[in-house]
Structure 1
Amino acid sequence: MGEISIKINIADRVYPLKVNMEEEEVIRRAAKIINDRIKEYQDNYAVRDKQDLLSMCVLHYATATLKAERKVMHEDTDVTEKVYQLDQLLTDFFSK
C-alpha cells in the first residue's frame, strides 16, 4: 500500500509524518499511549517540564522493552533445552 501524510501530537507538539497506510493505526495508538503516560506522570509527580516527562516516558518504555527482550531470550533458551532433552530421549529410545 502507499504512503499517507498524518499529523501526530505528542506532548503538545505536532509532528507531520509520512507513513505506510498499514502503520497508521499503530503509530496513532503509540502516540496516544505516550500522551497517556505523560498525563499520568503530570498528575502523579510535581514534574511539569515536557522534556522531563518525555525522558521519563522513554525510560519507562526502554526498560519495558529490555525486560521483554530478556524474557524472550530466557524462554528461547528454555525451549531449546527442552528440545535438546526430547531429542536425547528419542535418540536413546530408537537406538535400543
Structure 2
Amino acid sequence: MVKDNDFRINIKIDERNYPLTINRRDEERYRKAAKFVNETISEFRKRFQHNDQQDIMAMTAFQAALNYSILQDRQDYSQFIDDIKDLNDDISDFLKEQNWK
C-alpha cells in the first residue's frame, strides 16, 4: 500500500540500481548510506585488489556493522554521563540542604 508521503528513489550500489520506496523525509539518509557503501567498496577494492567481489562486499558489510556498534556504544556511554550528572545534582542538593540547617 502506497502512502501519500512515500517516495520512489533509485539507489545505485556498486553500479547496480536498487529501486526503493521510502518516506520522502528519509531520502537524504538513504542517499548518504548508499554513498558510504560505495565509498567503502571503492576503498576496499584499492586496499585488497586480489580479493574477489564477495570478499569486498563482506568487508563492506562488516565495516558498516562495526560503525553501527561503535555508535551504539557511544549512545550507551552518553546515558551513563546523564546518570552521573543526575547523581551529582542530587548530591549538590543534599549538601545545600545540610548547609541551611
TM-score range, shorter chain: 0.7 to 0.9
CA distance in 2, matches of 1:78, 1:25: 31
Contact between 1:42 and 1:53, CA under 8 Å: does it hold in 2?
yes
Please tell me the residue identity of whatever aligns with 2:27: E
CA deviations 1:42-70 (Å, max 9, x no partner) are 01112453322121111111111111211
Identity of matched residues, %? 26
Please tell me the residue identity of whatever aligns with 1:32: K
How far 1:76 sits from its partner (Å)?
A: 1.5
Which residue of 1 is the match for residue 25 of structure 2? 22
CA distance in 1, matches of 2:24, 2:80: 36
Q: How big is the alpha-carbon RMSD for the aligned residues of Structure 1 and Structure 2?
A: 1.8
Which residue of 2 is the match for residue 57 of structure 1? 60
Counterpart of 1:73 (choices 46, 68, 76) is: 76
Number of aligned residues: 96
Contact between 1:7 and 1:15, CA under 8 Å: does it hold in 2?
yes
1:36 aligns with 2:39: yes
Contact between 1:4 and 1:20, CA under 8 Å: does it hold in 2?
yes
